[in-house]
C-alpha cells in the first residue's frame, strides 16, 4: 500500500514538473495566455481567405516603410508640418477589425514621420491611438507602449524610439501571419502606403524638388506590389472595397512610364566597410497634368479612407 502511494506521488511530481516547465516557457516568450481566450470577431462571423505558407513566403516583405518615406522627405530639407498628419481624433471613425488594421498602418506611418523629425511631444498621442487600435485587433501585446511612452516623454534615445516602433510593427506582422490573419497584415501595409503616399503628395505641393516628383511617380512600382498583395484576399468584401477605392489612383499610374538603364554594381571597401553601389538608372516620365492628377488622386483616396 505504502509502495503504491510512493509511486503515485512520484508520478504526480513528474506531471507537476512538466506543467511547471511548460508555463515557464510561456512566460519567457512574453505570451499573455489571457489573449488566447479572446475569440476574434472575424472567427465568429466570417473566416477571411486563408493563404498557404508558400504564398506568404513569396510576398514582398516591406512594401511600404514609414521610416524610409519620412527619411526621404526629411532628406530633402522639407520642414516638419503637423498638418500633414492624420488627426488622432479620426481614430474613432474606424469600427471593424479591417478598418482598425488600416488605421493602425496609417497612424504607424505618421509615427514614423514624427520619430524621424524627433517630434516627441506629439508621439505619445499617436502611440496611445496605435496601442488602442492594436488592442482592438488583439495584437496590443506586441506593441511596447510603456517603453515607447517613456522614451518619448523623457526625450531620450530617439534611435530606440524608431527601433522599438519598427520592431513592434514587425512582431504584429509575424503574429498575424502565425495566427492565420495575414489579411490584416496586408491591410496594415495598405494603411502605411496610403499615408506615406499622402505625406509625399503634401510635400509635392510645397516643393519643386525633382526627387519628390520622382517619389510620386515611383509609387507606381510600389502600388503594383501592394495591389498584388491585396488581391490575394480580394474574396473578402472589405478587401474588395479597398481595392476598388484604390483603383482610380491605379488607373492614373498606368499613364506613368518607368524605364530603366541597367549598369553593373560597383564594390568599394573603405575602413573595412564594403559598399556596393548600384549604377542602374530609373527614368520616370509623366507630364505636369498627370503629376497634379496623381497628387489629387492620392489625397482624395486618403480622405475617403480616413472618413473625413
Partner 1 sequence: MKKIFFALVLVMVGVSYFGKSAKAQSEEELVQICTMIAGDAEYLKDFRIKLDAGDPPPVQRFPIVLKKDVKYRFSVCNSKDFEGKVILQLFDNNRQLATTYIVATGKDYPYIDWVCTKTGAYHLVYSFRDGKAGLAVGLLSMVGTM
CA 76 to chain centre: 23
Q: Is 275 in the site for partner 1 (CB under 8 A)?
A: yes
Which letter does DSSP use for residue 85 in this model?
A: S
Q: How far apart are CA 176 and CA 190, in angstroms?
A: 15
**Site map 21..50 versus partner 1, x via CB under 8 A:** x--xx--x----------------------
- Count residues binding partner 1 (CB under 8 A): 53
CB proximity list for 262: less than 8 A, separation 6 or greater: 280
Residue 20 interacts with partner 1 (CB under 8 A)? yes
CA nearest neighbour of 64 among 72, 52, 75: 72
| Residue 13 in contact with partner 1, rule: CB under 8 A | yes
Q: Does 276 bind partner 1 (CB under 8 A)?
A: yes
Which CB atom, from 282 or from 300, has the smaller least distance to partner 1? 282
Segment 67 to 86, residues that bind partner 1, using CB under 8 A: 67-68, 71-72, 74-75
Of 28, 10, 30, 7, give the one whose Cα is nearest residue 18: 10
The verdict on 265 binding partner 1 (CB under 8 A) reads: yes
Residues sharing a CB contact under 8 Å with residue 157, sequence separation 6 or more, in sequence order? 151
Provide the minimum distance between the beta carbon of 275 and partner 1 in the complex, in angstroms, as a whole number: 4
The DSSP element (H or E) to which 275 belongs, if any, is strand 273-277
How far apart are alpha carbons 226 and 239 in whole angstroms? Answer: 12
Query: Which one of 170, 205, 300, 303 is in contact with partner 1 (CB under 8 A)?
Result: 170
Count CA atoms within 13 Å of residue 178 on its CB side: 7
Instruction: Give whichever of 39 and 57 is closer to partner 1, judged by the CB atom.
Output: 57
Nearest CB to partner 1, comparing residues 45 and 79: 79
Q: What are phi and psi of 221, to 5 degrees?
A: -65, -45
Nearer to partner 1, 240 or 284 (CB): 284
- How many Cα atoms occupy the beta-carbon half-sphere of 1 within 13 Å? 0
The helix, strand and coil proportions of the chain, stated in percent and rounded to the nearest 5, come to 70, 5, 25
- Residues 203-242 interacting with partner 1 (rule: CB under 8 A): 211, 214, 218, 221-222, 225
Q: With binding defined as CB under 8 A, does residue 273 bind partner 1?
A: yes
Among 8, 14, 235, 292, binds partner 1 (CB under 8 A): 14
Considering only 2, 53, 89, 277, the residue that binds partner 1 (CB under 8 A) is 277
**CB-CB neighbours of 161 under 10 Å:** 24
Contact partners, residue 258, CB within 8 Å, separation at least 6: 217, 218, 220, 221, 282, 283, 284, 285
User: Segment 281-300, which members bind partner 1 (CB under 8 A)?
Assistant: 281-282
Segment lying near partner 1 (by CB under 8 A), choices 19-27, 103-111, 137-145, 288-296:
19-27
**Which residues contact partner 1 (rule: CB under 8 A)?**
3, 7, 10-11, 13-14, 17-18, 20-21, 24-25, 28, 57-65, 67-68, 71-72, 74-75, 159, 162-163, 166-167, 170, 211, 214, 218, 221-222, 225, 260, 265, 267, 273-282
Amino acid at each position: 500500500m505504502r509502495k503504491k502511494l510512493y509511486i503515485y506521488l512520484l508520478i504526480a511530481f513528474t506531471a507537476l514538473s512538466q506543467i511547471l516547465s511548460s508555463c515557464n516557457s510561456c512566460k519567457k516568450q512574453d505570451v499573455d495566455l489571457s489573449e488566447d481566450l479572446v475569440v476574434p470577431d472575424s472567427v465568429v462571423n466570417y473566416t477571411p481567405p486563408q493563404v498557404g505558407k508558400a504564398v506568404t513566403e513569396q510576398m514582398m516583405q516591406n512594401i511600404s516603410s514609414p521610416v524610409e518615406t519620412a527619411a526621404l522627405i526629411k532628406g530633402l530639407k522639407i520642414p516638419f508640418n503637423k498638418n500633414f498628419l492624420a488627426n488622432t481624433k479620426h481614430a474613432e471613425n474606424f469600427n471593424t477589425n479591417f478598418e482598425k488594421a488600416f488605421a493602425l498602418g496609417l497612424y504607424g506611418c505618421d509615427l514614423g514621420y514624427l520619430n524621424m523629425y524627433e517630434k516627441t511631444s506629439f508621439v505619445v498621442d499617436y502611440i496611445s491611438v496605435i496601442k488602442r487600435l492594436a488592442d482592438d485587433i488583439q495584437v496590443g501585446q506586441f506593441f511596447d507602449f510603456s517603453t515607447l511612452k517613456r522614451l518619448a516623454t523623457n526625450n531620450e534615445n530617439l534611435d530606440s524610439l524608431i527601433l522599438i516602433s519598427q520592431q513592434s510593427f514587425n512582431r504584429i506582422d509575424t503574429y498575424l501571419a502565425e495566427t492565420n490573419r495575414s489579411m490584416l497584415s496586408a491591410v496594415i501595409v495598405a494603411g502605411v502606403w496610403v499615408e506615406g503616399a499622402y505625406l509625399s503628395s503634401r510635400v509635392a505641393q510645397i516643393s519643386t524638388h525633382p526627387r519628390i516628383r520622382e517619389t510620386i511617380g515611383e509609387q507606381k512600382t510600389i502600388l503594383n506590389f501592394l495591389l498584388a498583395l491585396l488581391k490575394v484576399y480580394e474574396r473578402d468584401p472589405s478587401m474588395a472595397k479597398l481595392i476598388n477605392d484604390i483603383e482610380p489612383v491605379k488607373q492614373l499610374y498606368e499613364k506613368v512610364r518607368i524605364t530603366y538603364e541597367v549598369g553593373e554594381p560597383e564594390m568599394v571597401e573603405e575602413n573595412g566597410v564594403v559598399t556596393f553601389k548600384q549604377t542602374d538608372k530609373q527614368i520616370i516620365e509623366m507630364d505636369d497634368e498627370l503629376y497634379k492628377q496623381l497628387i489629387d488622386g492620392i489625397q482624395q483616396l486618403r480622405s475617403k479612407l480616413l472618413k473625413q
